[in-house]
Amino acid sequence: MEKPWYREVTAYQWLVLVIASAGWVFDIYEGQVYAITRKQMLTTILGAGATPSAIKYYGDLLLSVFLLGGAVGGIFFGSLADKWGRRPTMVLSILVYSAFSGLTCFAQSMWQIAVLRFLVALGVGGEWAVAASLVAEVFPPRARTNASAIFHATSVFGTWLAALAGMAVGAQWRYAYALGVAPALLTVWVMARIREPEMWTQAEAAAETGKAAPAGSFRELFGDPRWRKRALLGMVLAAVGLGTFWGLTIAGQDLATEFLVRHGNSAEAAGERAKFAYGIVETTGGGLGLLMFGPLCGWLGRRRAFALIQLGALVIVPVTCFAPRSYGQLLVLLPLFGFFTLGMHAGFAVYFPELFPTRLRATGAGFCFNGGRVGTAVMMVFFGWLKARPNMDLRWAVTIIGLFFVVGLVTLLFLPETKGQPLPE
């Protein structure tokens, strides 16, 4: 009888997963703390001009700035990780997002917030590309899929942490950003315990002796038809996942707020209850979706797992929007909403590192995941316009946004299946 996959994993490999996941948890915290606290932040920064429409406009604008910063950081740090190594690049990316999160405590104007959110996003985007590649390279082949899915699923702890911080600080939003300095301490652990993966050291040695192309080369990534096709299609797939996350998954908080207001709650009370509905209840379902995606990839293959979760999302989105008749019913549906709209994100950590050779792994995976943020920034303009249309019911807007999963299904038709195949060299 074949042993369970985790029996093959060494203590060091588990340590790598823990450290990579810790960086990713705080990575997610830096993005989610804004989603949780942006109303309080913008009320303070805009002062007398903090009308509901102004808060919505600047809230979406700052989100676009963050997405663009993540794209730039992911592509830059991904290439750097292939050239410098996984360990020093992870340390640098964590220090970047920690430092500029802490400085956000002192921001007094909109332009300061915008610059700081962009700089935080540089580190946030870079850390994922490095950590996802590190986990894929360190774990044995049979354990790789589950380890990568677990790595991405730990993002739920980042959302929970942001939700708890947001509820704890209330209107004192600056304290929530001060907490963002904490992951800087993680860099000591990274430097003390993480070793460069053997795959990377061999690729680096081959590049130095001229036996292989230089690592982290965008010229090779886009000059070779194999890698170019995978990079561009992976970027589209990531744009679908990230776009629907920011435009749809996070809208669970707004759906809960509007539902409660329609049923007689004050806007303030509804907003506080909605933080729990989104940050804890929906996110729990999303976390289960992320955890389940690894086994689904191992059972069905990567492409079929992506297809199944997106088909489920196409069904659950309109059901969650229009079916609930009580707050209790909404709370029952929100975990399913989170499961299907968020679950595919674990597939990015599983799939993207498998598409590229070692010398281009972090570069290619970083381009796919974070290049998708550029598409997401463009999508957010459309989503903002859609939600702001006169007499547009939020439920219909969210349902329309859910149709973007069809783009993801079509994209899968042109991508390769990597189940059971060794990492490209």
Q: How many CB atoms lie within 10 A of CB 363?
A: 31
Q: Indicate whether 412 pLDDT > 90.
A: yes
Q: Indicate whether 119 pLDDT > 90.
A: yes
Q: Indicate whether 283 pLDDT > 70.
A: yes
Lowest average pLDDT, out of 209-218, 259-268, 270-279, 315-324, goes to 209-218
Q: Indicate whether 84 pLDDT > 70.
A: yes
| Mean of pLDDT values over 338-352 | 93
pLDDT tens, position by position, 348-371:
989 999 999 988 898 999 899 888
82/364 Cα distance (integer angstroms) = 10
| Mean of pLDDT values over 392-420 | 94
Is the domain covering 13-189+216-412 a CATH 1.10.1130.10 domain? no
| Mean of pLDDT values over 291-318 | 95
pLDDT value of residue 383: 82
pLDDT tens, position by position, 11-55:
999 999 999 999 999 988 988 899 888 888 999 999 888 887 788
| Mean of pLDDT values over 175-194 | 90
pLDDT value of residue 12: 95
| Mean of pLDDT values over 142-154 | 90
pLDDT tens, position by position, 197-208:
888 888 778 777
Q: For residue 75, name the pLDDT band (cuts at 50, 70, 90).
A: confident
Percent of the residues in the chain that have a pLDDT greater than 70, as a whole number: 98
pLDDT value of residue 1: 61
| Mean of pLDDT values over 98-105 | 93
| Mean of pLDDT values over 122-148 | 89
Q: For residue 164, name the pLDDT band (cuts at 50, 70, 90).
A: confident
pLDDT value of residue 126: 87
pLDDT value of residue 279: 81
Percent of the residues in the chain that have a pLDDT greater than 90, as a whole number: 50
pLDDT value of residue 211: 62
Q: What is the dihedral of CA 234, 236, 237, 243, to 10 degrees?
A: 140
Q: For residue 166, name the pLDDT band (cuts at 50, 70, 90).
A: confident
